[in-house]
Amino acid sequence: MLLLFGSRETGGMSNSKKTTKTWFQDGESGGAPNRESGRLGVRDRSPGRSRSLRLVAASLAGLVGIGAASFGAVAAQANTVAVLASSVSVLSENLASAQGLSRSLADSTIEPTALSASATSNASASATSNASASAASKAVSQQAAASKYATASKQTIVSKHSASSKQASSLRQIGKSKAAQKRDLKATIQTLVDNGYPGALAAKTDKDGNTVGATAGKGNLATGEAPPLDGEVRIGSNTKTFVAVVIMKMVEEGKVKLDEPIETYLPGLIKGQGVDGKKITVRQLLQHTSGLPEIMLGMPDFFAMRNDYLSPRDVLDMALTRPAQFAPGAKFTYTNTNYIVLGLLAERVGKRPVAEQIEAKIIKPLGLKHTYMPGPGEKAFRGKHPHGYHTRDNKPGKLEDITEADPSWAWAAGSMISTPSELNKFMQSIFDGSLLNQASIAEMKKSVPMGDEGDAYGLGLIGHKLSCGVAWGHGGTIPGSQTDNAVGPDGAAAVIATTAIPATNAKDTAAEEAGGKRLGLQALDKALCGK
């Protein structure tokens, strides 16, 4: 039985929005890298120490504007401005040659930090005069020589901002360079290709929105071309998280209550053998504890139905011909039917198609360009994408192309398309307050155990136990595509996508049957934890 599920196939931050900066793998097919046009760099604009000090002293005089009458304040401010003077001294040493600078930055990533608030405040309080400029320059130089900051680390570099901002800011070296991160990510997903997957795509986004991406293997087995970098993929059950966010926004607006029976919103619809909508709550649907029967049971071969359109009501009616799995709230069993019902709930309460609500509440506010729910009858991708592959019997065997297919049967449970970088941005935005308030985030993390692996299911979220702590995401499985993804303990997010599902991969099936985590989850752990 195939489930649109990201963890395993089983029955059983501040309120500001981040701008994603993308550092994709150079030299890979599928389009040019998308680099941020104004990214800070460090260039040697000072041929000598003395000239650098004169320039900085003059600019400090203009910035600080110390009047002749306030010369005595220079000594009090010396500790603050000495940092800049000392940093400039270090600059002239570190930037002796462009070649040397290149080598020093080859294995480091730079992160901007703001000027001292106290320096800015003190500067604004002083008057400007040409006479005081010379005095200030001399005082700064003398104080810098005596200051404890005169021996500051040579990893501190002073640079200029872009033309729009002429204030200096300090840059400090942290972590691995983007090139090193790309190499690590590519090596991680290459193991998936080495273990039988046709192709793989990945993206990792740090807590500040900086993204690196990589691909491996073949994006088209017929032509041999590589997967497109950050290409569109079917994200399967990650769709559930989008729907859950829409429902939680309705909760915030007072339109839906989590512990209200679904009968309140969809009267007379949810009924069948052992099924009673008066006893099933919205929370139980979100958390897979409703006991509703699974829609996937009895579905024909995916190749046979790839061109078929099924309406949400058609899918629900098919599921409700079977009896309930258990009494509502009795246990957890992952069931796609729950999110078909939640999609209908969103449309009844929101009075608009669920795809439109996802676009209005999530996609447009986040500026996502390649994330969407296919429309009725839409079988092809809208943007660049790898081909997806599947087997006729959903078991290890001959892979066949199933790229173009109608995903209507999955609808609100698993039909959406996105890219690795955009899926990262969405997942991070759930937890940083961009989409939901803190009360909603806390509700989504209230979870129940999923099984032996130690994972837990919240409200449209899965908590994975990784080697570095708990990571929250979801993941998705749909013929032709598997995504494993989460936001780690440090706020970084990662997506590992393959162009076939684990059930069709003999090595992955064997690894899971032996009691280990799937290869995709192992890769996710390495991407987020470095292990």
Catalytic sites, residue numbers = 237
Widest pairwise Cα distance in the chain: 92
What is the C-alpha separation between 63 and 373, in angstroms, rounded?
53
What is the C-alpha separation between 413 and 407, in angstroms, rounded?
10
- 228 touches 31 (CB < 8 A): yes
What is the secondary structure of 352-417 as a DSSP string? S-HHHHHIIIIIHHHT-SS-BPPPTT--S-SS-----EE-TTSSSS--EE--S---TTTHHHH--E
Q: Report the length, in residues, of the chain.
A: 531
User: Residue 128: which of 203, 58, 39 has the closest Cα?
Assistant: 58
Q: Counting beta carbons within 10 angstroms of the beta carbon of residue 126, is it exposed (0 to 12), middle (13 to 18) or buried (19 or more)?
A: buried
- 199 touches 217 (CB < 8 A): yes
Question: What tokens appear for 29 in the block?
Answer: 């097919």
- 228 touches 385 (CB < 8 A): yes
H helices of 151-271, in order, are 178-194, 238-252
What is the C-alpha separation between 403 and 234, in angstroms, rounded?
9
Q: Counting beta carbons within 10 angstroms of the beta carbon of residue 388, is it exposed (0 to 12), middle (13 to 18) or buried (19 or more)?
A: buried
Q: Phi then psi for 394, rounded to 5 degrees? A: 60, 30
- 228 touches 235 (CB < 8 A): no
Q: Can you name the residues that pair with 234 across neighbouring β-strands? A: 417
User: Residue 443: which of 256, 235, 236 has the closest Cα?
Assistant: 256
Contacts of 167 (CB under 8 A, 6+ apart): 63, 115, 161
Q: C-alpha dihedral over 91, 96, 98, 100, to 10 degrees?
A: -100
